Amino acid sequence: MRTSITIEVRPTEIDVMGHVNNAKYLEYMEWSREDWYNKMKLPIDVFTEMNVGTVTVNININYRKEARQGELLTIYTESIRKGKSSYVLKHEIRNENRELVAEADVTSVTIDLKLRKSVEVPSALAKAFS
């Protein structure tokens, strides 16, 4: 499933170059990822009840076009690949003209919260990849 959120670039997100600081794009993607989990009916408390946590282990991001203060950005998130204990969510950030601003593949691993070791992706999460 593909989900999206829309945000307005705030003054505190701008760097000395006058555009969005590169680290802010990761934050935007994190907000969109949280929204994706909620829309999948997998909020944090559901993971906690399963004794499962998710850990980001790799982010591959490409910056395509600058974004500036006041612009509206839409961040899209979708599931693209699942392994035994890992999975990948793809993010796209597009401006009001639908131009690609940034894109990233974010790899996460599911872990046992008590043992702090990787575990198989729970079936509730695996369904989002079928």
**Which residues are annotated as catalytic?**
15
Q: Kindly report the backbone phi and psi dihedral angles of residue 69, in degrees, each rounded to the nearest multiple of 5, phi listed first.
A: -55, 135
Residues 92 and 103 sit within 8 Å (Cβ to Cβ): yes
Dmax over CA atoms of the chain, in Å, equals 47
If you write DSSP's letter for every residue of 36-103 in order, what string do you get?
Answer: HHHHTT--HHHHHHTTEEEEEEEEEEEE-S---TT-EEEEEEEEEEE-SSEEEEEEEEE-TT--EEEE
